[in-house]
Amino acid sequence: MSFDVERVRKDFPIFEREVNGHPLVYLDSANTSQKPVQVLDVMRAHQERYNGNVSRSVHTLGTESTEAYEGARARIATFIGAASPDEVVFTKNSTEAINLVAHSLGQMLRLGPGDEVVISEMEHHSNLVPWQLLCERTGATLRWFGITDDGRLDEADLDSLVNERTKIVSLVHMSNVLGTINDVSRIAARARSFGALVMLDCSQSVPHLPIDVATLGADLIAFTGHKMLGPTGIGVLWGRLDLLAQMPPFLAGGSMIETVTMGGTTFAAPPARFEAGTPPITEAIGLGAAVDYLTGLGMEAIHQHEQDITRYALDALTSVPGVRIFGPATVEGRGGTVSFDVDGVHPHDVGQILDALGVEVRVGHHCARPVCSRFSVPAMTRASFYLYTTTAEIDALARGLDQVRKVFG
Amino acid sequence: MSFDVERVRKDFPIFEREVNGHPLVYLDSANTSQKPVQVLDVMRAHQERYNGNVSRSVHTLGTESTEAYEGARARIATFIGAASPDEVVFTKNSTEAINLVAHSLGQMLRLGPGDEVVISEMEHHSNLVPWQLLCERTGATLRWFGITDDGRLDEADLDSLVNERTKIVSLVHMSNVLGTINDVSRIAARARSFGALVMLDCSQSVPHLPIDVATLGADLIAFTGHKMLGPTGIGVLWGRLDLLAQMPPFLAGGSMIETVTMGGTTFAAPPARFEAGTPPITEAIGLGAAVDYLTGLGMEAIHQHEQDITRYALDALTSVPGVRIFGPATVEGRGGTVSFDVDGVHPHDVGQILDALGVEVRVGHHCARPVCSRFSVPAMTRASFYLYTTTAEIDALARGLDQVRKVFG
Amino acid sequence: MMLDGLYQEIILDHYKNPHGRGLRDPYDGEAHHVNPTCGDEITVRVSHDLNEISYDGVGCSISQASASVLHELLQGRDAAAASEIHHAFVELMQSRGQVEADEEILGDGIAFAGVAKFPARVKCALLPWMAFKDAAARAGVEVGVSPEVKA
Amino acid sequence: MMLDGLYQEIILDHYKNPHGRGLRDPYDGEAHHVNPTCGDEITVRVSHDLNEISYDGVGCSISQASASVLHELLQGRDAAAASEIHHAFVELMQSRGQVEADEEILGDGIAFAGVAKFPARVKCALLPWMAFKDAAARAGVEVGVSPEVKA
Ligand SMILES: Cc1ncc(COP(=O)(O)O)c(C=O)c1O
Ligand SMILES: Cc1ncc(COP(=O)(O)O)c(C=O)c1O
């Protein structure tokens, strides 16, 4: 393996700590990732040396801050293949990015009764509830793709689901529960043929896969900094510039205006139009550093490492008696997020016993309750991997599951 | 002076740097404040040792993160005198907090034609444009208090401005341009007599004054972390719990739900209802540390120090020929933010020359263009102070203004 | 957090062999509670004299065992006794391990003393008790003044 | 950033004694531009043959001097010449100080070379030139293919 995971791990201070007397085995990166010292150092240096508000000052600190902030925007634009930094809007997380789009497109398209918005049963609540509320506000109808038994998007109803009434299609690119990577090309092509706009929730894909928005087939995508080695408090909306230019603002306030009188306001061009108030400056700069770190290792290499780990994990879990895996059974078209059930033991109890052994997995509905309902379970246990995950950690997980079965045997 | 400003300054690493060969003289704290090492250390330690997502995990990292995050909420609640931590909602900045209220109250009150929203000419764009848009969306009417010649809220029209049609009154507590601290007791009492809700934009007051929401007379307040020694990316909405409990959600997504099906969603109680998605975790913890730092020094002592500095600055500026001060001429009812005009020199040029001398002031319309229009200037120069400001820095400003007059003499 | 004290034998027994499980008629008050972070759910039914307490739900060992213990402790007690026990259990759970559990009052409930040290699991243990309190109120029985607990 | 090169005598002269200031009739195209961060504003009017260029606005020394220099350089030139000058000025401003200014083409405009090193002020210098470009387009004159500049 050319990917040197042990060297990578040295960049992450948290791996020095123990949990309950065991070395930390962090298998919850789909929830939030750990942060390398390179990212933390850039943020700290900014706060100690260059801190000033952006876009508002002619003074040196303000200019330096603005350059660092806009520099981060430019590097993130390059990272995802955007045509211009102006296509990158900073938000606080994916969730805000999706809400921004739901509100702004709803207004731009004058959504109303008879119009349809299409999502899927595989969505994270953050790409589900904003569309439910949009439909409630406007009278539009929400429709959705189902999930097949092996955890893939069920395209059987494509022709009836996407039709001349469809205005927006918003789908998860990689499922945070099943690990499925959705190839949306057929859906996007059909949506486009009816003039519908296509959004992808890339919260789980941008951190793990090489993404190029020029060829992805989406008009808009959302992702979030804390899942890709960056800090909390920063997310990204990418949109085609000509589309962003037509979209009305969502949050309003300082820095998104052109001119203001008490009687009325005109708005700045994107991305400023969508960045009301003081943005998460240090956090954007931190995300820029995260993108540098990821680029340094290479997204292709990272993805390859995760495929190897996932293959190993699928094998290991399959050989634990009583374990049932949800989602694709092989690494084809799936990422390093594996949810499973341990027969007769509630996920909460599974998670608790694993934690006692230092193994950190997530349990619950993973903010995607309809996925749990689809597979008729109230909750699942999920192990999720990243560039720093090792096969030894998968072994620790498997040993932990043996322990679980002993306690509840 | 019992307040030891030199000791305070040692906590701020940025004061070690020079700007253009001069020691940094940072007079732009109303724009964003500098951060003490105590805040930066807490954030760094969290990121290196305890980083996990909140409210979603039973594992140790998640539990530790959640306790740190909720602990910060509790300390911030105490800092402003809230009845319960549940009254404190974390947002990304003041601007988001105000937009949240504008959207949620608009829906809750079913705002429509005939209803009125009252603000003032003294508002920051962040407490102005959201209400303009709300009125556009709903057909309600926006009305506003004017500003007197000496920069105070003009209450002459109170009886006609606040009436039985008034549903919401939202006012700036301390002006970010004029420095005026608004005593809103008469306005709030009248608003309340008609059943209207009162919001205060405390972005400039919470960082500088002892604030007790129990006696402030507002139903809701907003403030922002980066102006009070905290990081960027974090703000606060405080609201009376019984009011928050009635308000519908604004941003939707993970962590703000009770239960979700494809057909519909029910929502969590406040504050979770208003915190969709992964919140700015490290940033909230940083703001908690900032509040600890401020509490350690004492808000009364900080305010007293700023009053002393402001008195000194008003004297110093008044003695520079050609300088005209906007806003209250004495420290009574005003904070440490002083905007002024240098006769015949555009603020951009004033700011540029001061910057060449290491003196960082803000120039422009300060995101409050109507205030500039009110005083018939396109822009102003503003010096703003904080707990770390010294009289020597005011002297440097005065010397800088002499230089400005020389260049443009 | 180490597991010491979390998975007591008593708790695992109640989990594997729950007492009084299943919803029964007639009843005077019913409440359905959900733990939104983990998806645990419980429905509790109560008669006005507390002679019948029935429940059903899905959830982890802690929440299910807690429901079984609740049934054992409260069914057939008068309002005052139920209130005292309810209060003692809630207090124990919120004590972070600082309160001594009284076996006289709490019976098998003392096995939950260890749960109090796991903040993420306190909600699980309390879920049936909060649902019971609501169901009882709907049946006309006020169960104490236990501090409200956040879901 | 030190002030070296920002406040050149030439700039201060144009600021204190602007050329061609004031809006005049008739004109064929007009544009109003605003710099939202600092509130600077300018209105530019242009005749279809570029024989009349008039302007008015409020702003700092850099933006006002830049308008005066624009007037001096472009009024009465043909579209090709105006386009060349416009292009050279925009290029100079976006060069961050890496491009040598050509006095043959830019005349007094070369005094703005120093401004290019102050990112926050480049917008000020360009404000009149962007407004001119729009006004000219409305008068039917395409001024070059200068890269678009963010306000
Ligand atoms: C009075 C006032 N209100 C609102 C804001 C907006 O704060 P933020 O930009 O952090 O959202 C500011 C500062 O920019 C302010 O001074
Ligand atoms: C698929 C997916 N979409 C959206 C989100 C929301 O991201 P955030 O919580 O950062 O807004 C997440 C993660 O929580 C996710 O996994």
Q: What is the 3-state secondary structure (H, E, C) of chain A?
A: CCCCHHHHHHCCHHHHCEECCEECEECECCCCCCCCHHHHHHHHHHHHHHCCCCCCCCCHHHHHHHHHHHHHHHHHHHHHCCCCHHHEEEECCHHHHHHHHHHHHHHHCCCCCCCEEEEECCCCHHHCHHHHHHHHHHCCEEEEEEECCCCCEECCCHHHHCCCCEEEEEEECECCCCCEECCCHHHHHHHHHCCCEEEEECCCCCCCCCCCHHHHCCCEEEEEHHHCCCCCCCEEEEECHHHHHHCCCCCCCCCCEEEEECCEEEECCCCHHHCCCCCCHHHHHHHHHHHHHHHHHCHHHHHHHHHHHHHHHHHHHHCCCCEEEECCCCCCCECCEEEEEECCECHHHHHHHHHHCCEECEEECCCCHHHHHHCCCCCEEEEECCCCCCHHHHHHHHHHHHHHHHHCC
Subunits next to D (3 or more Cβ pairs <8 Å) are A, B
CA atoms within 13 A on the CB side of B125: 27
- Cα(A94) to centroid(ligand 2), Å: 6
Closest chain A residue to C40, measured at CA:
A378
Residue C78 has pLDDT above 70, yes or no: yes
Q: What is the pLDDT of residue C150?
A: 41
- Cα(A197) to centroid(ligand 2), Å: 21
**C-alpha distance from residue A7 to each of A2, A33, A390 (Å):** 11, 17, 12
Contact B124 CB / ligand 1 (< 6 Å): yes
**Total structural domains within chain C:** 1
**CATH, residue D40:** 3.90.1010.10
Contacts of B144 in chain A (CB under 8 A): 262
Q: What is the pLDDT of residue C101?
A: 85
pLDDT band at C98 (very low <50, low <70, confident <90, very high): confident
Q: What is the pLDDT of residue D4?
A: 64
- Other beta carbons less than 10 A from residue B190's beta carbon: 19
Closest chain B residue to D3, measured at CA:
B356
- The position carrying tokens 């599951």 is A401
CA–CA distance, A218 with A241 (Å, rounded to integer): 13
DSSP per-residue codes, B64-103: HHHHHHHHHHHHHHHHHT-S-GGGEEEESSHHHHHHHHHH
- Greater confidence (C110 vs D148) lies with C110
Range B52-70 average pLDDT? 90
- Cα(A204) to centroid(ligand 2), Å: 7
Range B172-192 average pLDDT? 97
D38/B355 touch (CB, cutoff 8 Å), yes or no: no
Contacts of A88 in chain D (CB under 8 A): none
Range C96-107 average pLDDT? 87
Return the C-alpha torsion angle D102, D104, D110, D111, nearest 10: 150
CA–CA distance, B331 with B351 (Å, rounded to integer): 24
Closest chain C residue to A349, measured at CA:
C60
Closest chain A residue to C7, measured at CA:
A407
CA–CA distance, A399 with A324 (Å, rounded to integer): 16
Least confident stretch, A53-62, A323-332, B156-165, C77-86 = A53-62
Contacts of A171 in chain B (CB under 8 A): none
Query: For the stretch B40-55, what's the b/e string if a residue is b when 16 or more beta carbons lie within 10 angstroms of its beta carbon?
Result: bebbbebbbebbbbbb
User: What residue spans in chain A does CATH classification 3.40.640.10 cover?
Assistant: 40-295
Contact B310 CB / ligand 1 (< 6 Å): no
CA–CA distance, C77 with A249 (Å, rounded to integer): 60
- Gyration radius (Cα) of chain C, Å: 14
3-state SS assignment for residue B224 = strand
Q: Kindly report the nearest CA distance between residue A352 and chain B, in angstroms.
A: 6
The one-character DSSP state at B180 is B
Range B147-155 average pLDDT? 97
Tell whether D145 is within 8 A of chain B (Cβ). Answer: no
Residue C81 and residue C107 in contact, taking contact as beta carbons nearer than 8 Å: no
Residue in C36, C119, C150 nearest the CB of B63: C119
**Would you state the structure tokens that stand for residue A6, as one six-digit string?**
């042990």
pTM of the full predicted structure? 0.94
Q: What is the pLDDT of residue D36?
A: 74
Name residues of chain A where pLDDT drops below 50. 1
Q: What is the pLDDT of residue C3?
A: 67
Q: What is the pLDDT of residue D35?
A: 83
Q: What are phi and psi of D17, to 5 degrees?
A: -130, 75
The one-character DSSP state at B151 is S
Tell whether D98 is within 8 A of chain A (Cβ). Answer: no
Residue A176 and residue A222 in contact, taking contact as beta carbons nearer than 8 Å: no
- The position carrying tokens 């549940």 is B86
Residues of A with active-site annotation: 367
pLDDT band at C119 (very low <50, low <70, confident <90, very high): confident
Q: Kindly report the nearest CA distance between residue A290 and chain D, in angstroms.
A: 26
Q: What is the pLDDT of residue C39?
A: 73
Does the residue D37 lie in any domain? yes
Does the residue D38 lie in any domain? yes
**C-alpha distance from residue B331 to each of B81, B303, B316 (Å):** 26, 11, 13
D60/B348 touch (CB, cutoff 8 Å), yes or no: yes
Q: What is the pLDDT of residue D34?
A: 87
Q: What is the pLDDT of residue B340?
A: 98
**Would you state the structure tokens that stand for residue A23, as one six-digit string?**
């070395």
C58/A378 touch (CB, cutoff 8 Å), yes or no: yes
- Cα(B125) to centroid(ligand 1), Å: 8
**C-alpha distance from residue A74 to each of A63, A64, A280, A297, A330 (Å):** 16, 15, 16, 19, 36
- Cα(B274) to centroid(ligand 1), Å: 20
Class of domain A40-295: alpha beta
Least confident stretch, A306-315, B7-16, B50-59, B176-185 = B50-59
CA–CA distance, A246 with A242 (Å, rounded to integer): 7
CA–CA distance, A346 with A364 (Å, rounded to integer): 9
pLDDT band at C151 (very low <50, low <70, confident <90, very high): very low
Residue in B31, B60, B96 nearest the CB of A57: B31
The one-character DSSP state at D150 is -
- Name which of A246, A236, A233, A234 is nearest A201 in CA terms: A236
Q: What is the mean pLDDT of chain C?
A: 89
Domain that holds residue C35: 2-138
Assigned superfamily of B5-30+299-408 = Aspartate Aminotransferase, domain 1 (3.90.1150.10)
Q: What is the pLDDT of residue C144?
A: 67
Residue C45 and residue C24 in contact, taking contact as beta carbons nearer than 8 Å: yes
Cβ partners under 8 Å of residue C40, min gap 6: A348, A378, A379, C34, C57, C58, C59, C60, C63, C124, C127
CA–CA distance, A38 with A8 (Å, rounded to integer): 11
Written as one letter, the residue type at A218 is: A
Tell whether D151 is within 8 A of chain B (Cβ). Answer: no
CA atoms within 13 A on the CB side of D35: 34
CA–CA distance, A48 with C35 (Å, rounded to integer): 42
Q: Which atom of ligand 2 is nearest to the CA of A224?
A: 10
Q: What is the pLDDT of residue D1?
A: 45
Quick one: which H or E segment has residue C11?
Answer: helix C9-16
Residue B45 has pLDDT above 70, yes or no: yes
pLDDT 10s digits, C17-69? 999 999 999 999 999 998 876 778 999 999 999 999 999 998 999 999 999 99
**C-alpha distance from residue A342 to each of A311, C37, C140, D92 (Å):** 19, 20, 41, 67
Contacts of A272 in chain D (CB under 8 A): 36
Q: What is the pLDDT of residue D151?
A: 37
Contact A56 CB / ligand 1 (< 6 Å): no
- Name which of A211, A210, A229 is nearest A283 in CA terms: A229
What is the number of the ligand closest to the CA of B226? 1
Q: Kindly report the nearest CA distance between residue D151 and chain B, in angstroms.
A: 15
Does the residue C47 lie in any domain? yes
CA–CA distance, A277 with B124 (Å, rounded to integer): 10
B372/D39 touch (CB, cutoff 8 Å), yes or no: yes
Residue C133 has pLDDT above 60, yes or no: yes
Residue in A20, A349, A365 nearest the CB of C60: A349
User: What residue spans in chain B does CATH classification 3.90.1150.10 cover?
Assistant: 5-30+299-408
Name residues of chain D where pLDDT drops below 50. 1, 148-151
Closest chain D residue to A256, measured at CA:
D36
Residue B255 and residue B198 in contact, taking contact as beta carbons nearer than 8 Å: no
Q: Which of A58, A244, A278 to mutate to test the interface with D (most CBs of D within 10 A)?
A: A58
Q: Kindly report the nearest CA distance between residue C89 and chain B, in angstroms.
A: 22
The one-character DSSP state at C148 is P
Residue B328 and residue B382 in contact, taking contact as beta carbons nearer than 8 Å: no
A379/C37 touch (CB, cutoff 8 Å), yes or no: no
Range B68-82 average pLDDT? 98
- Calculate what percentage of chain C has a pLDDT beyond 70: 91
Tell whether A86 is within 8 A of chain D (Cβ). Answer: yes
